[in-house]
Chain A
Amino acid sequence: MTDMTPKTTDRFSAEQREVMRLVAGAIIPADPARDMPGADDPAILDDILASAGRDADDLALALDLLGASDGALTDVAEGSVLAKFRQAQPALAAVLSLVIAQCYYRDTRVLIAVGMEPRPPFPKGYPMDQGDWSLLDPVRARGPIYRAATDEGTPT
């Protein structure tokens, strides 16, 4: 049971890729102070376009609406274009957030920067504290709260 979506960026035109680069870099910009690349980093960008999967058609539509179809978008630095798009096309804006975040936040550099080990959860897993079980003492002290299912519904 695997995702059979082709892992290629060929789905997108050169114009769409260029708009994606501009948009990705604007939504998640680089942060040199944290040693974090932007989402327009070439490796991350390729991953985004190759991994759009079930959202590829919606992503292509979003990129066209943002200017890929007529070459109108050349700079999103001011953010106003994206802000207007987000207001006018909330569903497609959500697609942009998803396709960018799902690839950005699995990049090794990013994971290390946010304090994670760059590995899948399995097989190593993670440790976890039991916690303080005495916190339940007041709950016990208050006694039963379930309702008996007698005809009268008398609380126990």
Chain B
Amino acid sequence: MADINEPVDVLIIGGGASGAAVAWSLAETKMRIVCLEQGDWIKNEDFPSTGRDWEARQFGDFAISPNRRKLAADYPINEDDSPIKVANFNGVGGGTILYAGHFPRFHPSDFRVKTLDGVADDWPIDYATLEPFFELNDKMTGVAALEGDPAYPPKPAVMPPLPLGRSGEVIGEAMNKLGWHWWPSDAAINTQEYEGRAPCINLGHCGSGCAQGAKATTDGTYWPEAIRARVEVRHRCRVRRIETNEDDMATGAFYVDPDGVERFQPAEIVIVACNGIGTPRLLLNSASERFPDGLCNSSGMLGKNLMFHPYSQVRGHVDEKLEGYMGPRIGTWSMQFYETDPERDFKRGYCYQFSRGYGPVATAVNGMADGIIPWGAGHHDAFGRMFDHSLGMLAICEDLPEEINRVTIDPDLCDSDGIPAPKITYRLSENSKRMLEHSVARGKEILQAAGARDITSKTIFPAAGWHLMGTARMGTDPKTSVVNEWGRSHDVRNLFIVDGSVFVTSGGVNPTSTIQAIALYVADQIKNRIYELFD
């Protein structure tokens, strides 16, 4: 028998990128808002870059794979049937804790792929709808950017862009030789002091958390503001299921508190913000007599249409010395191959995220894995040619939705609280394979134009399942979608979803900016429709 808490107006499940944004936006309503987050608050001084073992810990307690990390906050994921493995972080701030801070918006065309290119579906909302929320999110986040990017409609910069550094110049010179687009990336990294957060000091280890606090993570951006406005965050609280009543309305959620006590949190509104894997897992685990196939699943679409971004990677080495391990991992991007080109053998496209070098451990580990740094004699010579001479890119390929790619509940696997764990079933489409091959071929051309040697490539980068989208898709038709065009469940009228699972298509860029813009948009819809919210 669970202990029953005092009721709240709004229960938010998940304290990551989207949960924080929606909480902050709703705080002005003065409703009583509680967020349940299964992970901890992470202190800046606990991040790896504060210690001499800074590189080793990216393979340990700050590994991007929850199946590798296996911390108390993590739940296991059966990903045996997927060539792409999930990367995430469970804690206040969610995936922003470990992301690189690469912060592109979706492009206008991303919302109209059916109309423009005859693939997948159009979104029920468009770029213009989200534009004010992109801008608001950029301000809350503190986005460093250079205005005038020809790959986007005009958009303001909150602060100056990240430095190019020498590796940015080398890439830029190569792209200019080829006549291809490149531009400083929009980055969720402070280049100057902003809202009490310090500027970047080039620690070079953004992907394992920023000890300086310069990278915008929602535990340092939205959450302090939301908490000041009396939103309550309860960390180390893992939700088991959402409960409903005879009117098919959500009544609250059962969760396990930090002491292992089962509790029930009653709420008038439930907002799910658990990412593209965690959200379908929770809703499928909330099946009941009234909702035997899972909550919000009358369409049968819950868990289906899982989209990652298939990543390829191309890296090379130049003779001159570059920044190596210093500086933000990201710096510039290219949208040259973003839009559909009828001359190519695939629809839609990808962006390049150019990156700097690695620390010595990653240089050695990657070099040995790629066969360019040998075991034994020659190790030191080869290491010397690679270390501080490395640069390269990731291609982030648009993944089109397919029902066969899905999240289900594993029949055997559970987390440490006995809650059934998710299973991923995913295959690469032929379109994705052709796009990946194109991205590797063009990537090699770029590095060759840069004068690089020892070029290595991965046509699919298995560990890069960062972006989890599509598993509770948005749409106007309840037969083919899980939530409506403003994030409300078609089946449960006081339940909203605000994370990447509502994406109709994936775009070909990192999704955090768009996820947060949608969360702010849904919050705005809730506020504007408050008197007819459940009609």
Contact = CB atoms under 8 A, between A and B. Distances in A.
Interface of A: 1-3, 5, 26-29, 31, 34, 36, 51, 53-54, 79, 82, 86, 94, 97-98, 101-106, 110-111, 114-116, 118-133, 135-136, 138-140, 142-149, 151, 153
A26 B377 CA distance: 8
Question: Secondary structure at chain A's binding surface: helix, strand, loop or mixed?
Answer: loop
B417 to A, nearest CB: 19
The 10 A-B residue pairs whose C-beta atoms are closest, nearest first, are A131-B164, A125-B201, A149-B108, A126-B326, A105-B360, A102-B56, A122-B211, A153-B116, A101-B364, A121-B203
Given A119-B52, A145-B335, A149-B111, A128 B148 contact: no
Given A26-B376, A122-B203, A125-B202, A1 B361 contact: no
B369 A3 contact: no
A147 B212 contact: no
Give the secondary structure class of B's interface: loop
A94 B47 CA distance: 25
Contacts, number: 202
Contacts of A127: 202, 326
B150 A144 contact: yes
5 contacts: A29-B379, A97-B365, A97-B368, A102-B365, A125-B201
B258 to A, nearest CB: 14
Interface string B338-377: 0100000000000000000001110111001100000111
A145 B181 contact: yes
Nearest to B204: A121
B376 A79 contact: yes
Contacts of B379: 27-29
Contact of B164 (A29, A34, A104, A130): A130
Interface string B316-330: 000000010111000
Contact of A86 (B116, B126, B375, B377): B375
Nearest to B339: A147
B127 interface: yes
Given A121-B49, A126-B202, A128-B165, A54 B176 contact: no
Nearest to A153: B116
Given A105-B359, A110-B360, 16 more contacts: A1-B61, A2-B61, A3-B60, A36-B380, A82-B376, A122-B50, A122-B211, A126-B323, A129-B166, A130-B164, A139-B183, A140-B150, A146-B150, A147-B107, A147-B108, A149-B126
A26 B375 contact: yes
B163 A131 contact: yes
A135 B361 contact: no
Interface residues of B, number: 83
B112 interface: yes
Interface string B118-150: 000000001100000000000000000010101
B507 interface: no
Nearest to A76: B376
Given A2-B61, A53-B60, A97 B369 contact: yes
B150 A138 contact: no
B534 interface: no
B306 to A, nearest CB: 25
Interface stretch (B167-175, B244-252, B497-505): B167-175
B396 to A, nearest CB: 17
A119 B359 CA distance: 13
B328 to A, nearest CB: 9
Report which residue of B91, B146, B173, B375 has the largest number of chain A beta carbons within 10 angstroms of its beta carbon. B375
A91 B59 CA distance: 15
B57 interface: yes
Given A136-B183, A147-B109, A120 B116 contact: no
A88 to B, nearest CB: 14
Given A121-B203, A128-B327, A31 B380 contact: yes
A123 B377 CA distance: 36
B120 to A, nearest CB: 14
Contacts of A121: 49, 54, 203-205, 211, 325
B437 to A, nearest CB: 22
Nearest to A126: B326
A148 B169 CA distance: 30
B115 interface: yes
A126 B116 contact: no
B504 to A, nearest CB: 14
A140 B153 CA distance: 13
Contacts of B56: 51, 102-103, 106
B181 A142 contact: yes
Contacts of B211: 121-123
Interface string B29-56: 0000000000010100011011111111
A106 B42 contact: no
B153 A153 contact: no
Contacts of B168: 131
B70 interface: yes
